[in-house]
Structure 1
Amino acid sequence: MSYEGPPPSRHRVPGWLARHRLGVTLGAAAVVVIAAGGVYLGSGAAQPEPSNAANALEYPPSPAGQPASPGATVPASATPSASTTPSPGATPSTAAAPKVPATGWVPVDRAAWKTQADAYRALKVDPVPAGVGNLPEFRADCQYSHRLPDDPIVAPGLPGASHMHSFVGNKAVDANTVAGDLTKFTATSCKPVQDHSAYWVPTLYDNATGKPVETTGFRVYYRSLAKNSTGQMPMPNGLRMISGDAKKKKPTPRGATGQFYCAFYGPGDLDGIARSTNGNWPICGGDATLHFMMQFPDCWDGKHLDSPNHKDHVAYGSSNSCPTSHPVRIPAITFDIQYPAKGTPAGYYLSSDKEGKSASSMHGDAFVMWDVNTMNKRTRNCVQGRRTCDNYGYQK
């Protein structure tokens, strides 16, 4: 059964929502139909063997004629401290300086991307079993992995420099993680295991107790938001991007965009049956619990794996095409997150806005790394083929 919920923001309702078999009607007395328990792990179906021949990518030097990526040098605060200075009489260390992830405009490895793109174009669509749905998407279902005050995209090489983040997916991620690490250390809290990516959001805290509330279900959709699949391409490995604004600190009263919502089986109110004392958090009725949905861009510039603000190298397309500045259509990542909380008068706060205690600073980071063959095949069969897939392939 497909996991359903409201659109990531109420000002843009993507076409897939209208086509879902289990729909959502927005309004004061909305009908929400959600898979029981929020997010399911897939069945024990057989999975394709990983093929990582094109996966082990580190950030390459800038192509000839292109300036070096801004900020790619090691920050002074990230270099070894006095602890690396040999004590009198000690043998000088030959250990390499710790690696620091590149920042700024990070160019794609053109040869690796061409190899992946050529392999993708050569793929034939697998036979489609009877009864497969027509939602153009595949997914990874993830569980909570670990919590750190690190951010390898925004504050690379600086452990402890970020507000607290809750990570799902790759279990080895910390402030020093680079793309190659995601292929070397592949233990993951996601299914399928061919998804080596890391995903993270600010940690949610119970305002009354100060204790963290970690997700009990974190589904990552890779889908088409367009009406057609013209020019559809897979995700390049090493792509990094952010959705949302960690610095936004506006109230999120009933009906606001960017708020948490209530979801469960059956009819109910997305905004909750009541609100927290400060009005920013819904209190859910019945079996409903707090959820959040977040949508990432679906168009890429084809040149960079990252940009200085972690957003400029990607863009949102229209229902039919991508802007000329970002001509490569990629699957749109969507976070669909379930929390084991119903809401209380005291409400909650995010690590990104402990003082304001609103939900407007909710944001998400994606550091993409898949087994290349799996990414290509799922994009070809499911997104370009406009068929519904779960964690392991076609979904009936």
Structure 2
Amino acid sequence: MSDTMPSRSGSLGRFGGNKRNLVATGASVAVVVIAVAVAAVSLAEASAGPDRADVVAVAPSAVAAASGAPSASPSASPSAPASPSADASKPGTAGPERGAAAPEPVVPKTGWIAVDQAAWNAQVAAYKALSYEPVPAGVGNLPEFRADCEYSHSLPDDPIVAPGLPGASHMHSFFGNEGVDAGTGADDLVRFTATTCEPRQDHSSYWVPTLYDAATDKPAEPTGFRVYYRSLMSDSAGQLPMPNGLRMIAGDAKKKTPTPRGATGQFYCAYWEPGHDADGIARSTNGNWPICEKQAYLHYILQFPDCWDGKHLDSPNHKDHVAHGWNNACPASHPVKIPAITFDIQYGVQGSAAGYYLASDKDVRSASSMHGDAFVMWDVDVMNTRTKNCVEQRRTCDNHGYLK
């Protein structure tokens, strides 16, 4: 990591270089498509507990143009359209106030969401026309820029997996765009610019399953949430920026396997000190959670793919439109090299015998179901400039440009 991550509770310790490439990935998320009306999804079902991980209905909501202007497409809101024939001002005309049945709400559909090719082509042309800005002395050579975000709010919603279906998910902790709920589409991210992220030009929304203290069932919200946009390859040739409206999921919400000491995909103890044990000095009673020493706190690293198919902003399982590069190149099926998003999350807890559980797995109480969602929306000029100067030029940047 580049340097210290700020948080609401104070500065966080730098994450040691030996964990820099830690990747928390899981098997592909199994996605269940439900063909039911929104009206049939009751609050009783939604309150069945945090194990309702992946009730799915994806809406092809409006995709914001790369210029940042909202498109004319309808949003993912499940609000019912007005009846074209009803006129309440005329006697005998059927209308809601005269007892007529309201129109059935539109059920969001799952599937592929195409990128606006004209907008994307315009963004790429503007990106390629940019020249590198001069690099001040002392700037490092880590090809990355970042956004530091604070916790915003929690909801049992998922605007990527279950758009338009409030309460259909397990509890999530949201960061970044403050107006996000189940009905949020790309056009809403453009309009709702209030954010907990720095820089303010990042209007994206990021979320993860809420972490709970197993002893009290109370949430333990992150005290630091840093989002890196970086190159995972040793060569930045052909690098392009991130398209606005891109939606991705990393990890597997359905995975429920133990995470003992040494397991992949576990939480770790972060503290910058020689000889520090990232796996903790002890484990919780069930062995799934580290207990940290001294000033170390629980952290989690979640890595997203760095290659895109160049055609779709989402896919039915929210993963097939992106892929991980290999041997410093993207596969032919996903030829567009984009910055890789990395979540670096700190929780203000140090571990305990009782341990913790994620909203996506209250039964096994392991860390294996940890996952994250990214719904990308930046000021396009800032995205282009940061990608050009920091990722393509392979220079270390912070929230505002070159890290000096």
TMscore range, shorter length: 0.7 to 0.9
Is the 1:138–1:388 Cα contact (8 Å) retained in structure 2?
Answer: yes
Task: State how far apart, in whole Å, the 1-side matches of 2:180 and 2:200 are.
Answer: 16
Q: Which among 200, 205, 216 is matched to residue 193 of structure 1?
A: 200
Does structure 2 retain, via aligned residues, the 8 Å contact 1:301–1:325?
yes
Please state whether the residue corresponding to 2:229 is helix, strand or coil.
strand
2:391 to 375, 383, 388: 383
1:104 deviation in Å?
1.3
Q: Secondary structure at the match of 2:206?
A: strand
Q: Aligned with 2:278: secondary structure? A: coil
Larger deviation, residues 263-272 vs 343-352 = 263-272
Q: Provide structure 1 residue ranges, at least 5 long, that are not aligned to the other structure.
A: 12-51, 62-71
Say which of 319, 322, 331 aligns to 2:339: 331
Structure 1 residues 361 and 53: CA distance shift in structure 2, 3 A: closer
Find out whether 1:179 has 2:186 as its counterpart: yes
Match of 1:89 in 2: 98
Asked if 2 retains the 8 angstrom alpha-carbon contact of 1:60 and 1:108, the reply is: no
Structure 1 residue 8 corresponds to structure 2 residue 8? no
1:55 to 44, 47, 68: 68
* Structure 2 CA distance for aligned equivalents of residues 53 and 227 of structure 1: 28
Alignment equivalent of 2:378, drawn from 361, 370, 387: 370
Aligned to 1:14: none
Mapping 1:199-238, distance limit 5 Å: 199-238=206-245
Query: How many pairs are equivalent?
Result: 340
* Shift of residue 58, structure 1, vs aligned partner: 4.1
TM-fit CA distance, 1:320: 1.6
> What is the aligned partner in structure 2 of residue 261 from structure 1?
268
Change (3 A) 1:185 1:322: same
Match of 2:320 in 1: 312
Distance 1:157 1:264, change over 3 A: same
Distance 2:185 2:266 in 1: 32
In 1, Cα distance between the equivalents of 2:119 and 2:66?
10
Asked whether the equivalents of residues 103 and 306 of structure 1 are also in contact (C-alpha less than 8 Å), the reply is no
Q: For each residue in 1:166-201, what CA deviation from the matched residue of structure 2 results, as whole angstroms up to 9, or x when unmatched?
A: 000000000000001001011000000000000000
- Judge conservation of contact 2:24–2:302 (CA < 8 Å) in 1: no
Match of 2:147 among 140, 145, 151: 140
Give the superposition deviation at 1:318.
1.5
Q: Residues 265 and 368 of structure 2 are in contact (CA less than 8 Å); yes or no, is this contact kept in structure 1?
A: yes
Q: In the superposition, relative to structure 1, how do residues 97 and 222 fare at CA in structure 2: closer, same or farther (>3 Å)?
A: farther
Q: Please tell me whether residue 345 in structure 1 is matched to residue 358 in structure 2.
A: no
Structure-to-structure mapping, 1:107-122, within 5 angstroms: 107-122=114-129
Superposition TM-score, scaled by structure 1 size: 0.81
Structure 1, residues 312-338: CA drift from partner, whole Å, max 9, x if none? 000000242100000000000000000
8 A Cα contact 2:15 2:271, kept in partner: no
Matched with 1:17 is none
State whether residues 76 and 164 of structure 2, in contact with CA within 8 Å, keep that contact through their aligned partners in structure 1: no
Which letter maps to 1:164? M
CA distance in 2, matches of 1:154, 1:137: 28
Deviation at 1:264, TM superposition (A): 1.3
Q: Is the partner of 2:225 in helix, strand or coil? A: strand
Q: Quick check: 1:139–1:390 contact (8 Å CA) kept in 2?
A: yes
Deviations 1:212-253 (A, max 9, x none): 000000000000000110110000000000000000000000
- Equivalent in 153, 170, 176 of residue 160 of structure 2: 153
Amino acid of the structure 2 residue aligned with 1:159? P
Per-residue deviation, 1:265: 2.5
Which is worse superposed, 317-326 or 228-237?
A: 317-326
Could you say which residue in structure 2 is the equivalent of 1:103? 110
Q: Return the match for 1:250 from 247, 257, 267.
A: 257
With normalisation by structure 2, the TM-score equals: 0.79
Contact in 2 for aligned 1:149/1:160 (Cα 8 Å): yes
2:280 is the alignment partner of 1:239: no
**1:294 match: secondary structure:** strand
The offset of 1:55, in angstroms, is: 1.2
* CA 1:310–1:53: 2 relative to 1, 3 Å: closer
Q: Secondary structure at the match of 1:280?
A: coil
| 1:344-370 Cα deviation digits (max 9, x unpaired) | 000000000011100000000000000
Question: Which residue among 396, 400, 403 is the counterpart of 1:395?
Answer: 403
Cα distance in 1 between the residues matched to 2:302 and 2:118: 32
Contact 1:243 1:296 in 2 (8 A): yes
Deviation of the 1:8 alpha carbon: 2.9
